[in-house]
């Protein structure tokens, strides 16, 4: 029996589009279903200034397919020499919607990020004053800390102290992967939000490691134990305003994923909405998918929800999407949940 639901058009509050040939190849995958996305600034070199963000936005708009309606929401990559006045001007002009904090060395192209939060306090104070959100990659980089503990340790040793020091700063905990992250976001008050990816609702670390290493399930923060996946599912499907979709769709060409030192990132832009319909249906929460994917994010960012709608249809037979996207930079494997999915997005 076919079943269907209609939602306001969703937005993606954490997305990697890259640049050049990769941008050209992956942008249509997001623009097909999403109205807006917060665009991550970890290019090489990173998007640090307002002028660089304006140029990057123009390259994104130029790469959009004919007739697509998609609005990139730009971010700046925070460094220890970021100029608070440049940030304020980029925000005042409407160009920049958030600033991204990467602890130096935490993930892909983060070496220019922040070593010492003290050094960026003047920028953060300015952001608190003007209401510009800080998106945080929440992992410590101390080699002594086990990779599976890095999010929880970050919350205790970096995020919580920062928020006590500057309670008026609006913060988004990006791609939370633990119960600790979900709990902290739940209790954090109205200045705190958290994005959750599609893939962290689907895989735990066993999926990545048991029966052979699955490079296309490797991302950062790395998938954790099953109890954490279940905590993320409970958070996302609760409808609570604190949690919203940030796919963290992060394309890398297959040659760099299937590699002796494989890159981190899952590419989910193509099938995210179908996968989310499956997940929310499984948890008896289809009526809360719109909160997670279309309403909570705009409310946090102070933007209107989208007026247009999309229709998700459940079919009798499993639905299929391309196994790979063939970009001019090389093939990119689309995230495979490992089970049949009967949902699709219909025009
Ligand atoms: C992202 C990327 O490839 O840029 N990778 C990832 O595994 N998520 C960076 C990030 O968001 O950590
Ligand atoms: Zn990311």
Write out pLDDT tens, residues 142-175.
999 999 999 999 999 999 999 999 999 999 999 9
Q: What is the pLDDT of residue 1?
A: 59
Q: What is the mean pLDDT of the chain?
A: 98
By C-alpha distance, which of 63, 99, 70, 64 is closest to 84?
99
Instruction: Please return the burial class of 65, using the count of CB atoms within 10 Å of its CB with bins 0-12, 13-18 and 19+.
Output: exposed
For residue 2, the CA-to-ligand 2 centroid distance in Å is 35
CATH T-level assignment (fold) for domain 3-346: TIM Barrel (3.20.20)
**What string of DSSP letters covers 19-49?**
SHHHHHHHHHHHHTT-SEEEEP---SS---S
- Token digits of residue 185: 């976001």
| DSSP symbol at 264 | P
Dihedral class, residue 299 (left if φ above 0, else alpha if ψ from -120 to 50, else beta):
alpha
By C-alpha distance, which of 269, 238, 328 is closest to 39?
269
Asked whether 264 lines ligand 1 (CB < 6 A), one says yes
Average pLDDT over residues 103-132: 96
Q: Summarize pLDDT for 253-306 with one digit per residue, the tens.
A: 999 999 999 999 999 999 999 999 999 999 999 999 999 999 999 999 999 999
Question: Would you list the domain boundaries of the chain?
Answer: 3-346
Is 160 among the catalytic positions?
no
Is the per-residue pLDDT at 93 higher than 80?
Answer: yes
- Token digits of residue 241: 């305003």
Q: What is the pLDDT of residue 347?
A: 80
For residue 222, the CA-to-ligand 1 centroid distance in Å is 10
Q: Which residue in this structure is represented by tokens 């070593």?
A: 115
Atom of ligand 1 nearest to the CA of 266: 7
Asked whether 221 lines ligand 1 (CB < 6 A), one says no
Q: What is the pLDDT of residue 29?
A: 98
Mutate to test the pocket of ligand 1, among 17, 26, 42 (most ligand atoms within 8 A of CB): 42
Residue 67, number of CB atoms within 10 A of its CB: 6
Of 248, 254, 287, 316, which is the active-site residue? 248
- Chain length of the chain: 347
Instruction: Please report which ligand is nearest the Cα atom of 42.
Output: 1
Q: Summarize pLDDT for 215-253 with one digit per residue, the tens.
A: 999 999 999 999 999 999 999 999 999 999 999 999 999
Asked whether 43 lines ligand 1 (CB < 6 A), one says no
Task: Please tell me the distance from the alpha carbon of residue 69 to that of residue 25, in angstroms, as a whole number.
Answer: 17
Mutate to test the pocket of ligand 1, among 135, 137, 220, 263 (most ligand atoms within 8 A of CB): 220
Q: What is the pLDDT of residue 50?
A: 98
Residue 129's pLDDT band (cuts 50, 70, 90): very high
Instruction: Please report which ligand is nearest the Cα atom of 177.
Output: 1
Average pLDDT over residues 303-316: 98
Asked whether 250 lines ligand 1 (CB < 6 A), one says yes
Average pLDDT over residues 124-149: 98
Inter-residue contact 291 to 241 (CB < 8 Å)? yes
Is the per-residue pLDDT at 11 higher than 70?
Answer: yes
For residue 35, the CA-to-ligand 1 centroid distance in Å is 22
Average pLDDT over residues 59-69: 96
Atom of ligand 1 nearest to the CA of 137: 12
For residue 16, the CA-to-ligand 2 centroid distance in Å is 6
Atom of ligand 1 nearest to the CA of 174: 11
Q: What is the pLDDT of residue 2?
A: 74
């Amino acid at each position: 029996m076919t079943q269907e639901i209609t939602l306001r058009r969703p937005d993606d509050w954490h997305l990697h589009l890259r640049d050049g040939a990769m941008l050209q190849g992956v942008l249509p995958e997001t623009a097909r279903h999403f109205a807006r996305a917060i665009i991550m600034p970890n290019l090489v070199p990173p998007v640090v200034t307002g002028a660089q963000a304006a140029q990057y936005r123009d390259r994104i708009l130029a790469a959009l397919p004919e007739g697509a309606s998609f609005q990139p929401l730009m971010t700046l990559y925070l460094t220890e020499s970021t100029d608070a006045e440049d940030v304020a001007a980029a925000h005042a002009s409407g160009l920049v919607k958030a600033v991204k904090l990467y602890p130096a060395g935490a993930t892909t192209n983060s070496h220019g990020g922040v070593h010492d939060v003290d050094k960026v306090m003047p920028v953060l104070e300015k952001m608190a004053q003007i209401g510009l959100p800080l998106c945080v990659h929440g992992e410590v980089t101390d080699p002594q800390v086990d990779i599976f503990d890095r999010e929880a340790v970050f919350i205790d040793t970096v995020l919580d102290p920062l928020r006590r020091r500057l309670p008026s700063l609006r913060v988004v905990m990006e791609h939370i992967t633990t119960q600790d992250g979900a709990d902290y976001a739940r209790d954090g008050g109205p200045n705190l939000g958290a994005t959750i990816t599609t893939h962290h609702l689907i895989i735990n670390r066993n999926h990545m490691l048991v029966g052979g290493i699955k490079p296309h399930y490797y991302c950062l923060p790395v998938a954790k134990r099953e109890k954490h996946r279940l905590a993320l599912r409970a958070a996302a499907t609760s409808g609570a305003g604190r949690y919203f979709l940030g796919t963290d769709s992060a394309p890398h060409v297959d040659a760099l994923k299937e590699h002796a030192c494989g890159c981190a990132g899952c590419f989910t832009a193509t099938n995210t909405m179908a996968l989310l319909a499956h997940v929310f249906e499984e948890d008896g929460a289809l009526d809360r998918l719109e909160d997670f994917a279309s309403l909570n994010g705009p409310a946090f960012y102070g933007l209107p929800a989208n007026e247009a709608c999309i229709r998700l249809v459940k079919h009798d037979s499993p639905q299929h999407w391309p196994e790979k996207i063939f970009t001019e930079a090389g093939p990119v494997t689309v995230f495979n949940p490992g089970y049949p999915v009967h949902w699709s997005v219909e025009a």
